[in-house]
């Protein structure tokens, strides 16, 4: 496995130890998760113990050590969203995608995550797919929102073919 792109990231951050979180973020953006071998590689390159990198990677919820889907679906379960019925939305998401919270669909298309507040309580209940925010989500809207992405991804794939 080549680590050229990883080395580019390290280069960009100037091999600085204090940029470790930024480096891990960039790697997650590149690989969609944090593979063991890549973390081991940066541990050797930066001369930071692997235990420290692993500690940071497991401390922050935004880092994933397992492969995630192409689209990350985040359902806000903060107080405002909870009151507006976010749990029903989450259940509907789980039913539609046939996965539980924190899991990834078999076709690696969607990962379902929960967050505790995204700071846009006026839009409650909020769901976020990748970087798009969906406001006032109801269980009926869930399927429509998700189908956007399913068709879109398939469309991209068929274009490639």
For the bound state, the minimum distance from the C-beta of residue 83 to other proteins, rounded and expressed in Å, comes to 24
For the bound state, the minimum distance from the C-beta of residue 62 to other proteins, rounded and expressed in Å, comes to 13
> Would you say 38 or 96 has its CB closer to other proteins?
38
As a whole number of angstroms, the distance between CA 28 and CA 135 comes to 27
- What's the token pair of residue 117? 């507040």
Three-state SS at 76: strand
For residue 72, the surrounding DSSP H or E stretch is: strand 71-76
For the bound state, the minimum distance from the C-beta of residue 104 to other proteins, rounded and expressed in Å, comes to 19
Site for other proteins in 30-59 (CB under 8 A): 36, 39, 49-55, 58-59
> Would you say 9 or 57 has its CB closer to other proteins?
57
Closest CA to 143 of 157, 122, 129, 131: 129
* Residues placed in the known binding site for [2Fe-2S] cluster: 76, 81, 117, 121
């Amino acid at each position: 496995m080549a680590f050229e792109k990883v080395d580019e990231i390290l280069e960009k951050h100037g091999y600085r130890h204090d940029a470790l979180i930024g480096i891990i973020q960039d790697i997650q953006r590149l690989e969609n998760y944090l593979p063991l071998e890549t973390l081991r590689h940066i541990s050797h390159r930066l001369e930071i113990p692997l235990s420290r990198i692993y500690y940071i990677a497991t401390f922050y919820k935004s880092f994933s050590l397992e492969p995630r889907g192409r689209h990350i679906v985040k359902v806000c379960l903060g107080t405002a969203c909870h009151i507006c019925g976010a749990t029903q939305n989450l259940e509907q998401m789980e039913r539609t995608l046939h996965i539980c919270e924190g899991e990834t669909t078999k076709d690696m298309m969607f990962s379902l995550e929960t967050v505790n507040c995204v700071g846009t309580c006026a839009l409650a209940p909020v769901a976020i797919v990748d970087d798009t925010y969906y406001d006032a989500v109801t269980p009926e809207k869930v399927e429509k929102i998700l189908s956007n992405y399913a068709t879109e991804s398939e469309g991209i794939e068929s274009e490639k073919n």
